[in-house]
Structure 1
Amino acid sequence: MNIPENFTEFLYWIKKRTEDLWSNEDDCLKGFYGAKWQPLTEEQINSIELKYSIKFIPEHREFLKVLHAIDKKEIIEYEDEGEIITEEYTFFYNWLENEEEILQVMKEPYEWMLDDIETVNKVWLKSWGLKPKSIEKRKEIFDEWFSRVPILLPLKGTRFIVSDENLKWKPIISIRGSDIVIMGWDFRTYLLNEMRNHLDIHIQVFDEEDQMFYPELLPEIQEIFDENFKYDKTKDVPYLKEMMLYWSSGWRGFGMSYHPENAKVHPIVKTFIAEEEI
């Protein structure tokens, strides 16, 4: 498998590979049969930036020009008390059609993190200093901190691109409350990660112990992931990194380890959980 390194060529590779797979009803996931990507023009992208008062970084613009969104809904089925429930979900957000959903999702990182400070998890970062007893004061500290967080633009579900053109790495993150993980340190790796079930990039490997076949990523794909997620001291997400390392799920995205076996692996510095209140 020859995966293009040039980003634009890679996007067209994604387009062809997914649409080819979606053209076969037996091979594609439920809801994707016949799906097509709906790219945007430069004029449409410029208009969206004005409408939402945002700025897409170059990689995001290129993604929107080649892929953007599809013309189908993802179908999820699950069982609830013996009944099969079927629900439809937006795949990648359509900036021309999903205005209400996008506006709501853009507010959610702030709302989710603030809720995690005041409810179940009682999150409090070391950089915030001693934890005030006053709810109003806690919110004031959080608001000032969040105002410095890079702009987060929604892509799909709870996935956001850190939209700061000045950062060396352009990560895509998944946010659930204060639990934030890296999905890819660049758009190319993120799409391989997010679209892995739509790209036919697995091989079946037989497990002798279980006597079953299990899917494993092709070596070329695994090598891309390993390279993208290895430790690099330049990897940072301003202000959000501390929140990411608050939970054990965040350190993997930075190539860190709790118990490094050699000096090449950078150990995680466990974040502070404040008990003090003032």
Structure 2
Amino acid sequence: MIIPENLTEFFYWVRERSENLWASEDWNKHEFYGAKWQPLTEPQIDEVEQRYGVKFNHEHREFLKILHAVDRKEIIEYDGENDEMIFEERTWFYNWLKDEQEIMERLHGLPDWFYSDVEGRNQVWLKSWGKKPESKEDREKIFQNWFSKIPQLLPIYGHRFVVGDDNLKWKPIISSWGSDIIVMGWDFRTYLLNEIRNHLDIYEDVFDEEDHMFYPEVLPEIQEIFNQNFKYDETKDVPYFKEMMLYWSSGWSSFGMEYHPKGTTVHPIVKTDIAEENN
């Protein structure tokens, strides 16, 4: 399988491959049967930027012009009370023309979401913030000063965000659950192969000798893209966010590093969460 390296060609490849899959009879009982992407025009993208006060980086803008959103909702199933099955519709990729409430909640809810990890159970306090003040008011000032400097995060799907700084060498898409942040892809190509792999038919069945069963695995050429994209590179950075990403061990794989490198017992990030009065 040849995966286009050119980003524009790749987006068209994704659109054709996913829509062909959704149109197949194998998907006739799936909520995405017959689904289509809904790209935006250049004037629409300009209007969205003005309407929301945002600025898309060039990769994100190209994504919006070719893909953007799908004309279907995702159906989530989960168990309710008394073993009752609950079905819930959720937006798959945000539609910037229709999903205003969800997008605004994501855009404007970020400060409170992150700050809840500072004052809540997780007690997050970054080393670069200095000693943790006893006063909540002082802690909030330090946090707000830090948050005012972070790159703009633009919602794309669920709790996934595009880092909107076009000056960065890499254009990462992150998954953020409050302060617990990982990179889903250091570019849109890797992100989409990662995020919508089940909609691109990029698996093969591999026999497991131990279990004596076949299990689906992404094709070798896809795995190689992942391996290369997440390989350690000192130029990979997300200004102000990198330290928070490395605060939790889950973020280290995003940068191609291990939280506990072999042969060491050093924790790369030292948490400074002790109030001044206890130092």
TM-score range for the pair, normalised by the shorter chain length? over 0.9
Could you tell me which residue of structure 2 aligns to residue 246 of structure 1? Answer: 247
Q: Secondary structure at the match of 1:107?
A: helix
Residues 55-98 of structure 1: CA deviation (Å, up to 9, x unaligned): 11111111000000010000111223411110110011000001
Could you tell me which residue of structure 1 aligns to residue 189 of structure 2? Answer: 188
State whether residues 174 and 183 of structure 1, in contact with CA within 8 Å, keep that contact through their aligned partners in structure 2: yes
Unpaired stretches in structure 1, ≥5 consecutive residues:
none
Question: Does residue 10 of the first structure (1) align with residue 10 of the second (2)?
Answer: yes
Could you tell me which residue of structure 2 aligns to residue 79 of structure 1? Answer: 79
Q: Secondary structure at the match of 1:153?
A: strand
Residues 135-168 of structure 1: CA deviation (Å, up to 9, x unaligned): 1111110000000100000100000000001111
Between structures 1 and 2, the one with greater helix share: 2
Q: Secondary structure at the match of 2:75?
A: strand
> Distance in 2 between the 1:36 and 1:189 partners?
21
> Distance in 1 between the 2:117 and 2:212 partners?
43
Q: Secondary structure at the match of 1:243?
A: helix
Could you tell me which residue of structure 2 aligns to residue 275 of structure 1? Answer: 274
Q: Secondary structure at the match of 2:26?
A: coil
Q: Kindly state the Cα deviation for residue 250 of structure 1 after the two structures are TM-superposed.
A: 0.4
Letter in 1 for 2:42: E
- Report matched runs for 1:261-272 at 5 Å: 261=262, 269-272=268-271
Question: Does residue 201 of the first structure (1) align with residue 202 of the second (2)?
Answer: yes
Q: Secondary structure at the match of 1:45?
A: helix
Residues 93-132 of structure 1: CA deviation (Å, up to 9, x unaligned): 0000011110111123222110011111011110111111
> Distance in 1 between the 2:102 and 2:7 partners?
28
> Distance in 2 between the 1:258 and 1:190 partners?
23
Q: CA, structure 1 residues 28+131, in 2 after alignment: closer, same or farther (shift >3 Å)?
A: farther
Q: CA, structure 1 residues 181+137, in 2 after alignment: closer, same or farther (shift >3 Å)?
A: same
Q: Kindly state the Cα deviation for residue 174 of structure 1 after the two structures are TM-superposed.
A: 0.4
State whether residues 37 and 67 of structure 2, in contact with CA within 8 Å, keep that contact through their aligned partners in structure 1: yes
State whether residues 169 and 235 of structure 1, in contact with CA within 8 Å, keep that contact through their aligned partners in structure 2: yes
> Distance in 2 between the 1:211 and 1:93 partners?
41
Q: Kindly state the Cα deviation for residue 30 of structure 1 after the two structures are TM-superposed.
A: 3.2
> Distance in 2 between the 1:5 and 1:29 partners?
33
Unpaired stretches in structure 2, ≥5 consecutive residues:
none
Q: Secondary structure at the match of 1:250?
A: helix
Q: Kindly state the Cα deviation for residue 211 of structure 1 after the two structures are TM-superposed.
A: 2.0
> Distance in 1 between the 2:138 and 2:194 partners?
40
Aligned length: 275
Letter in 2 for 1:35: A
Q: CA, structure 1 residues 218+29, in 2 after alignment: closer, same or farther (shift >3 Å)?
A: farther
> Distance in 2 between the 1:29 and 1:244 partners?
39
Could you tell me which residue of structure 2 aligns to residue 170 of structure 1? Answer: 171
RMSD: 1.7
Q: CA, structure 1 residues 27+271, in 2 after alignment: closer, same or farther (shift >3 Å)?
A: farther
> Distance in 2 between the 1:138 and 1:260 partners?
32
Residues 220-277 of structure 1: CA deviation (Å, up to 9, x unaligned): 0000000000100010100100100111100000000134459xxxx97133242233
Q: Kindly state the Cα deviation for residue 24 of structure 1 after the two structures are TM-superposed.
A: 2.1
Letter in 2 for 1:44: Q
What percentage of aligned pairs have identical amino acids? Answer: 63
Q: Secondary structure at the match of 2:247?
A: coil
Q: Secondary structure at the match of 2:166?
A: coil
Q: Secondary structure at the match of 1:75?
A: strand
Could you tell me which residue of structure 2 aligns to residue 70 of structure 1? Answer: 70
State whether residues 126 and 271 of structure 1, in contact with CA within 8 Å, keep that contact through their aligned partners in structure 2: yes
State whether residues 149 and 239 of structure 1, in contact with CA within 8 Å, keep that contact through their aligned partners in structure 2: yes
Q: Secondary structure at the match of 1:180?
A: strand
Could you tell me which residue of structure 2 aligns to residue 213 of structure 1? Answer: 214
Could you tell me which residue of structure 1 aligns to residue 21 of structure 2? Answer: 21
Q: Secondary structure at the match of 1:258?
A: coil
Larger displacement relative to structure 2 (21-30 or 183-192): 21-30
State whether residues 3 and 10 of structure 2, in contact with CA within 8 Å, keep that contact through their aligned partners in structure 1: yes
